Amino acid sequence: MESPTPRSGIYYGWCIVATTFCMAMVSMGARSGFGVFVLPMSEEFGWNRGTISLAAAIGALVSGLSQPFLGRLYDRLGGRRLILASLIVTGVCTMLLALTTHILFLILIFGGLLSIAMGGGSLTTTSALLSKWFHRQRALAVSLNASGASVGGLLLVPLTVYLIHLVGWRMSWVVLGLLTLLFVVPLAWILLKDDPAELGLLPDGDPQPVHGSKTVPLRPGPLEVERWQQSFRSTPMWQLCGGYFVCGFTISLISTHFVPFAIERGVSPATAAMAYGVMSGLNVVGVLAVGALADRGGRKNLLGLVYALRGCAYVALLLAPGAWSLWCFVVIMGFSWYATLPLTSALTAEVYGLKHLGILSGLAFTGHQIGGALSIQLGGTLRDLTGSYDLPFAIAGLLLFAASLVSFAIREQQYSTRYQITAGATGG
């Protein structure tokens, strides 16, 4: 029997990764900068923290509720068309935020239209796309994708602070929108492809089998579903969604309230933005390390460890003395911020299969965004009632330790296709 000849050159899947990285960097980076707009917009319009938090909370909720429908569209239409349309609407809506004069307008544009549009090109959608291009290196590819959001936070949050100081908050929204329309949309138009088969490729860049040779497929996992509803009859889906709810609760709380919290602790706006940027930068290292480790070993133990680390970050924020609390939080949270995404995405694909991955990832993300919406509003409301963020941050820490225990309990070796005996090995 002849051996297949490996293809030369760089596998095109890495071009897809580079494209989704740039998408996440600009779109997610710009959204991460919303916390920087909280104080200037509040000062101009006289809004309290709870009022402006409402727009962000509704945005998180709308994004989550729309994700299953967007995931369904992804499964039916493919990712490229959905992502391109979403990016165009995202750029336009970001620019429209410059016209804000009333809280209802902010809720409509940021909390409604922009949040739905960003769901179409979100990390959830692009992770589902990358799962078709990569099998063995899936966690690493999704980690690189997620690191784009971290780089966006590292670069765009400080840039936004500078822009607001230079041209005001209205023109800053215009600049962020133009970045999407003039840079990301053309890049995605040229490079994005839905499936490696379109280019005559196999996942991971594997060589095509030579005539007469046989491929050895993996047996489907015991929970792989023909209908997406069947996934909710098994425990792992609830464990993954429950953990992702806590992920959204704890990340959105920081995305919206970290900069105002740091300023209230006596830190300058520039230093607060720099701390947020450092946190995003450290996450690049953390998420890539998690992706590499997950492809060599299991997913669920790393997932449990990441949630535990985040819980420790909140403990440090509340209990460490003086400035140590802020910077301990930045370092610990930085290494674990987006690290849950590649692990949750990979586990979902490997337990339930690729056929309905768009809608299943969307449903998990719905739980993430419901948690995010709750924490954004709860954080702002409790800050107004108590005069500090201590109570919402304490709640976040407790939930993270609970999510850690739930993740450790996932029976990965029993259900994941990575641990199934190959069909060829059994003669099946």
pLDDT one digit per residue (tens) for the chain, 428 residues = 333 444 557 899 999 999 999 998 888 777 777 878 877 888 888 888 778 878 877 887 787 788 788 877 887 887 899 999 999 999 999 999 999 999 999 999 998 999 899 888 887 788 888 888 988 888 788 888 888 887 887 788 788 888 998 999 999 999 999 999 999 999 999 999 988 888 888 887 877 665 555 555 556 667 776 777 788 888 888 999 999 999 989 988 887 788 788 888 888 877 887 887 788 778 888 888 887 787 777 788 889 999 999 999 999 988 887 778 888 999 999 888 778 878 888 888 888 877 777 778 778 888 887 888 888 888 888 888 888 888 999 999 999 999 999 999 998 888 877 776 443 444 33
Helix, coil or strand: residue 408: helix
Global model pTM greater than 0.85: no
Helices and strands (H, E) in the chain, number of each type: 18, 0
β-strand partners of 218: 422
Q: How many CB atoms lie within 10 A of CB 117?
A: 25
What's the CATH code, domain 13-204+223-421? 1.20.1250.20
pLDDT of 420 reads 65
Helix, coil or strand: residue 223: coil
Q: CB within 8 A of 212, min separation 6: which ones?
A: 1, 2
Question: What are the φ/ψ torsions at residue 320 (nearest 5 degrees)?
Answer: -70, 150
pLDDT of 184 reads 93
Q: How many residues does the chain have?
A: 428
The number of angstroms, rounded, from the C-alpha of 376 to the middle of its chain's C-alpha atoms is: 17
